[in-house]
Amino acid sequence: MNILITGGGKQVYYLCRDLAGKGYKVTVINKDREECRRFSRRLKRITIVCGDPSDPRVLEDAVAGTMDVVLAVTSRDEDNLAIAQLSALRFETKRIYALANDPDNEAVFRALGVPGVFSLTPVMANLIEERVGFPELLNMIPLDEGKVNITEIVLGPKSPVLDKPLRDVALPPDCLVACAIREEAIIVPRGDTALKKGDRIILIAALHVHDQAVACLTGSD
Amino acid sequence: MPFENSLSIIIVGCGALGSHLAGKLSRLGHGVVAVDLRESAFAGLPEEFTGISLEADAAEPAALKRLPTDTADMLIAATGDDNTNLLVAQTAKTVLGIPRVVARLADVAREEIFRDLDIETVCPARITAKRIIDSLPLGSVREEGEENR
């Protein structure tokens, strides 16, 4: 498989190293001559093209037409969009992934016909908000731009809701304990279901009551 | 003062071209909003400019939302960076629905992709080259593949 990566920095370096190590044919385009030299000294099995990856002539030099995958991960969104669109329209690349540094550009790229757009900001923000805020939170999926969240919570020993019927738990309105996973069993709780320590529960909560609901279930502030 | 046929025009990029254009359009009575990444760029706006200047990164959707895009009749992407102009022009046209969008194009080699994406372009290099060639005593030379744009 031929992979074209446009961009630089450590992340791109490690990505190239790993992909080349797995036997993929990797080509990198980078504007910075010094960085190109560094890449070529350290990575033996990749092809390096020094130039502006959004320039159609440079893409031609990098034989962009033979690429199975194009990854546009420069630090500038306008460059990533241009690379993605050139790859699609001029070189007919099938799989194109483009980084939207500004998460707001994710929707813009999609509207402009780049479905393979991704953004790292929400991933990192989620990591921080989940782990630091509530250690019991395993996973949080925002829906409709975060108006509703699906949250996975493990009930620890301090949880105030253990071993009592769910109907007696003072959960706020606009939220629902949709499911509890106890070892292998999937339990859809009813009013008389009692949650137990170690249960992994799936909470669906509107944004305005989310933190309150999580606090109520975990016992943390 | 704005007159009956006055248009509301956003100019992104306030370099030599953008600021000159902003002045001329102001003088013609149009309402102009001039946008640039660097506030220092607005020092180059001519005296006849009567519009609003706004420091913003037009490649940032949140910044574009601060512009009067709902009421704009036209957006001109006039930065010196073709990729910025391509992103801004497409966002203006497809996402914001501004009726008329024109992009400045520096690199003649990128004309095709702008055309494929249906963005109206003005390429100063092409126009200047044509003017020079036309002025030669040899008579006008028509470049291959050239269109009247």
Contact B120, B103 (CB under 8 A): yes
CB–CB of A55 and B109 under 8 A? yes
- On whether any CB of chain A is under 8 Å from the CB of B61, the answer is yes
Residues with Cβ within 8 Å of residue A219, at least 6 apart in sequence = A156, A158, A159, A160
Shortest CA distance from B97: residue in chain A: A111
How far is Cα A19 from Cα A6, in angstroms, rounded to an integer?
14
Domain boundary (A122, A157, A172) is at A122
pLDDT confidence bin for B149, thresholds 50/70/90: very low
Considering A86-90, B58-62, B133-137, the range whose residues carry the highest mean pLDDT is A86-90
Kindly state the average pLDDT of the residues A82-95.
Answer: 95
- Residues A201 and A157 placed together within one structural domain of the fold: yes
Identify the domain containing residue B109 by its residue range. Answer: 8-135
Is the pLDDT at B78 greater than 80, yes or no? yes
CB–CB of A86 and B82 under 8 A? no
Q: How far is B148 from chain A (nearest CA, A)?
A: 23
- Residues A115 and A10 placed together within one structural domain of the fold: yes
Q: Which has the closest alpha carbon to A84: A56, A114, A107, A58?
A: A114
The overall average pLDDT reported for chain B is 90
Residue B117 lies in a domain: yes
> Collapsing DSSP states into helix, strand and coil, what is residue A150?
strand
- Residues A101 and A144 placed together within one structural domain of the fold: no
Residue B93 lies in a domain: yes
- Residues A89 and A160 placed together within one structural domain of the fold: no
Supply the pLDDT for residue A124. 83
Domain boundary (A73, A100, A122) is at A122
Kindly state the average pLDDT of the residues B70-84.
Answer: 96
Please report the sign of the dihedral spanned by the C-alpha atoms of residue A32, residue A35, residue A39, residue A40.
Answer: positive
Q: How far is B12 from chain A (nearest CA, A)?
A: 14
Please tell me whether the interface predicted TM-score (ipTM) of this complex is above 0.85.
no
From chain A, the residues in CB contact with B82 under 8 A are 54, 82
CB–CB of B113 and A107 under 8 A? no
Domain boundary (A122, A150, A168) is at A122
Shortest CA distance from A91: residue in chain B: B113
Is the pLDDT at A134 greater than 70, yes or no? no
- Residues A117 and A24 placed together within one structural domain of the fold: yes
Q: How many domains does chain B contain in total?
A: 1
Say how far residue A170 (Cα) sits from the centre of its chain. 34
Residue B145 lies in a domain: no
Residue B18 lies in a domain: yes
CB–CB of B61 and A108 under 8 A? yes
- CATH code at B12? 3.40.50.720
- Containing A88, the helix (H) or strand (E) segment is helix A77-89
User: CA triplet A6, A10, A13: central angle to 5 degrees?
Assistant: 55
Residue B146 lies in a domain: no
Is the pLDDT at B143 greater than 60, yes or no? no
- Residues A183 and A207 placed together within one structural domain of the fold: yes
How far is Cα A99 from Cα B27, in angstroms, rounded to an integer?
41
- Residues A8 and A76 placed together within one structural domain of the fold: yes
CB–CB of B60 and A102 under 8 A? yes
Residue B104 lies in a domain: yes
Percent of chain B with pLDDT over 90: 78
Contact B30, B7 (CB under 8 A): yes
Residue B123 lies in a domain: yes
Is the pLDDT at B132 greater than 50, yes or no? yes
Contact A4, A29 (CB under 8 A): yes
Kindly state the average pLDDT of the residues A23-38.
Answer: 95
- On whether any CB of chain B is under 8 Å from the CB of A107, the answer is yes
Identify the domain containing residue A32 by its residue range. Answer: 2-122
Q: How many domains does chain A contain in total?
A: 2
Q: What is the pLDDT of residues B6-40, one digit of tens each?
A: 999 999 999 999 999 999 999 999 999 999 999 99
- On whether any CB of chain A is under 8 Å from the CB of B118, the answer is no
How far is Cα A107 from Cα A117, in angstroms, rounded to an integer?
9
Q: How far is A140 from chain B (nearest CA, A)?
A: 25
The beta-carbon neighbor of A54 closest among B62, B83, B90 is B83
Supply the pLDDT for residue A159. 87
- On whether any CB of chain B is under 8 Å from the CB of A128, the answer is no
Percent of chain A with pLDDT over 90: 65
Size of the A and B interface in Cβ pairs below 8 Å: 63
Supply the pLDDT for residue A141. 81
Among all chains, which residue has been given the structure tokens 């009013």? Answer: A191
Supply the pLDDT for residue A44. 86
- Residues A26 and A110 placed together within one structural domain of the fold: yes
Residue B16 lies in a domain: yes
- CATH code at A180? 3.30.70.1450
- Residues A116 and A140 placed together within one structural domain of the fold: no
Range in A115-129, B17-31, B45-59 the model is least confident about: A115-129
Is the pLDDT at B66 greater than 90, yes or no? no
From chain A, the residues in CB contact with B81 under 8 A are 78
- CATH code at A105? 3.40.50.720
Is the pLDDT at B127 greater than 70, yes or no? yes
Say how far residue B12 (Cα) sits from the centre of its chain. 7
Contact A28, A15 (CB under 8 A): no
- Residues A36 and A84 placed together within one structural domain of the fold: yes
